[in-house]
Chains A and B, each alone.
Chain A
Amino acid sequence: MQATMHNTVQATLPAQAAGAPTFAATATTALRGHFVLLRAGELRLLLPQAEVGAAGYLETRPLHDNTGQLRDAAGRPYAALSEQMSLLPECPPNRFIFAALGDGSDPTGWCWDELKVMISVDLQAHSLPAALLTPRTPVGAYVELPGGPAFVCGAAALVRFVRGEGVQP
């Protein structure tokens, strides 16, 4: 160990030579347009409205078939997310509303506790700190909304992440 303890501990001092360091303000981006807030327990996601299909109410609870896929009596596939954004094997009882995600080619009904359409809103998206992210993290920013932050996400990123995550035991 070459450095003295004094030098080692002081080595983490912010560089002062070029003047006092500035304190970082969170990087923000303006978001304008139509969005949909989707909530699954404590998980709150904000998607562009164009990427969320028409909402419907669950009249009967979808049940998993012999492949593990949730389906209603008519055979339509459904999916329900945990608060960690992984697929749940069962649809929780408080999920009562569903919508398809993406360009409409996938009929899967994604089940939520709450679905709120936000028309012509101006929002500030705050970038997530780099320390939280991995190459697989499907969200990169959040907006502050009444009730807490909602993570900004695209439908394709959400579906990719969830499909790669597998079913939570």
Chain B
Amino acid sequence: MENRDEAPPGGVTEQVNDGAPDTEVVARVLGGDGEAFGILIRRYEPGLLRFATRMLGNPDAAADAVAESLVRAYRHLAQCRDPGRLRSWLYRITGNRCRSHLARRHMNDISLSDAPPLADGSDAWAVLERSEQVALVERALAALPAEKREAFVLKHVEGMSYEEMAAVTGARIPTLKMRVHRAREALLAALEEVVR
């Protein structure tokens, strides 16, 4: 990966609000003010990075996917048919890019041996070290099929409605609900196996 910059101290906060609604910022960019695209980056980059990281299981690959997606979004901004729903459009491009990455390498390639050893089965969730909790959850998420992982992350990590998820993924709402339900079942089974 190239040129990955460190975020400001304390991390990037969610949903930077530079005042102007997306439609106005998009109009500025399309009018030739390329620098205004920075507003959109600051506004949506944290969520896109989080989404891509959860999809790909690798921060470097996620940063690459998000950077490529944002450049692509800039170049094709005029094709955004509803700038009022820019967030869905950006997630769709990023999701598409993540799927391309995943098609080139299987999620199973992610090394699980890097995860710290898990506590004894008799231990409860609360007594697990934070790093162990993170490793456990990430491993359980990575074990999900990509479609279910995507649905779970959009719903529970990005906090989207099923309507917005449908706009992002192109899948129907009942299908998405089913994917989320199945993902919850798989995650819960994986977590309970350890903490009970």
A and B part of one assembly: no
Binding site for B on A (CB under 8 A): none
Chain B residues with CB under 8 Å of chain A are: none
